[in-house]
Structure formats: C-alpha cells, structure tokens
Amino acid sequence: MNKKRNPSRPPGHETPNWQTLLASLAQTARDERLQRFYQAGAVAPQTPIEEVPLVALDLETTGLSPQRDAIVSVGLMPFTLRRIRCADAHYHVVKPLSELNSESVAFHRITHSDLDDAPRLDSLLSEILQVMAGRVAVVHYRNLERGFLDETVRHYLNENLHFPVIDTMELEARLHRGTNDISWFDRLRGKKAVSIRLAESRMRYGLPLYQAHHALTDALASAELLQAQIASHFDHGTPVSELWD
C-alpha cells in the first residue's frame, strides 16, 4: 500500500485520550443512559483508522445556535472504511425545544405538520446513545452536531455529553491550509477561496450530489466523504488520535 502524506494538525493542537476520558465519565455520570454510553468506552488512540467502528451523525436544526435553536431531525449511519451499513441507519424527526421559523423550514423542509406527532428527543436518547456507543462519530463541522447534542442532553438530563468526533470539514481545512490566503489583487482577478462545505468537498472527490439538509442523507454524505478523504490523503494505518477531536 502506498503511503499517503497524512496531513497534520496545526501546531499546538492537542486532543484528549478518549478511552481514558470516557472511562472517567462512566464513574461520574448520574443518568443511566449516559452511564451505559460511557461504559462502552472508546478505541485506544493508536488504533488504525481502518479498524475503528464509526457512525456518521447529522442533525437538522431550527438555526445555528445551540443555545437559542433546537434539533428537528437526527440521522445516524454506522460504517467502517470498507462498508457503510445503510440497513442499520437511524432517522428521527423530533419535536424541537424552540419554534420552527420560515428560514429553517426552507432549508430542511420539515414543517409544523410533520412535528404534530413527533416525539421529544429525550424519549429517543437511549436509542441514539446506543447507536453511538463505542463508535467514533463522523460529522461535517463538529461545533454544530456536538454543540446541539450537548445542549439538548444538558436541557433534559442536566448533564453534559462528551464523545469523540472526526470532523470531515476540519480534514478538508487541513488539506487546503494556506490556499485560502487570497490577496486583494487575486480577488480582483476573480480568484476564489476553496470551499470546504459538504457538497463542494464531495465534488472534489467525484462523489455524487445528494439532496442537502436531510439528516440521514447528509450522514451518508459525510460517511462517504471520510472514506474518500482517507483513501486519497491518509494511510489506512493512521492512528485515530491523528483524526479525532
């Protein structure tokens, strides 16, 4: 197997040992659902990425602020670098903690009538945490998914939620580090910054375009993107500690 260049993190960036951290949280969590989640643990930091169980996670929300907005749908797609397990996918529309607005409906196309019989997210936490337990979550922009899930768990359980994440957007940012430092002269000449949004990132690997802003479709899109990123730029033996956050 040819060695890839394994794009590195910015200097000074440190990541936690998730195996140690989750073991500690299992001793301090009060809610049984969180206890079970943390007891499932995490792989060791030096585990090759090709051996890591993964789950792609995407949330659709009423806005971009975890403090002001809320989750309206959740998509989860278990996978590895070799196989995406579509038959084991999970998708839920949930009743949000805040009101829908016209702008968010235009994005995710989930309307008030879709939410009439939708459950609250706290009734689905056991299922969601069970799917995520023992796996590394894969997202495109970790501040959104991690922030909203943490805020929701804090609302319902009065506890925080911690879990390891591989951020495909952050990986793209590493790959294009320095290329977006465009001078005013280059901008005048029409040069544009490289987009690291999900759809544009997928296009660079020849991946197909999917309907955007659907939680399950975007979870699948993130899973495929990570597979393409690893195949193109990283060695399959890359330790997961070089990728997660």
Tokens of 43: 């792989």
Q: Classify the C-alpha dihedral 30-35-37-38 as positive or negative.
A: positive
For the domain 18-242, what is the CATH superfamily, name and number? Ribonuclease H-like superfamily/Ribonuclease H (3.30.420.10)
Residue 9 CA to residue 96 CA, distance in Å, equals 35
pLDDT digits (tens, 9 = 90+) for 46-94: 999 999 999 999 999 988 899 999 999 999 999 999 999 999 999 999 9
pLDDT band at 199 (very low <50, low <70, confident <90, very high): very high
| Confidence at residue 47, expressed as pLDDT on a 0 to 100 scale | 98
3-state DSSP assignment of residue 185: helix
Strand 54-61 vs strand 136-139: parallel, antiparallel, or unpaired? parallel
- pLDDT, residue 2, reads 45
pLDDT digits (tens, 9 = 90+) for 108-147: 778 878 888 899 999 999 999 999 999 999 999 999 999 9
Are 160 and 153 in contact by the 8 Å Cβ rule? The answer is: yes
pLDDT of residue 115: 86
Q: Convert the pLDDT of each residue in 143-174 to its tens digit.
A: 999 999 999 999 999 999 999 999 999 999 99
Q: Over the stretch 229-244, which tens digit does the pLDDT of each residue have?
A: 999 999 999 999 999 9
Lowest mean pLDDT of 11-15, 61-65, 185-189, name the range.
185-189
Q: Looking at residue 186, what is its pLDDT?
A: 55
DSSP assignment of 33-98 equals HHHHHHHT----TT-BGGG--EEEEEEEESSS-TTT--EEEEEEEEE-SS-B-GGG-EEEE-B-SS
Does residue 180 have a pLDDT over 60? no
Helices (H), the chain: 18-28, 32-39, 102-108, 125-132, 142-157, 168-175, 184-188, 198-204, 215-233
For the chain, give every domain's residue range. 18-242
User: What is the Cα Rg of the chain in Å?
Assistant: 19
Give the pair of three-digit tokens for residue 133: 């337990």
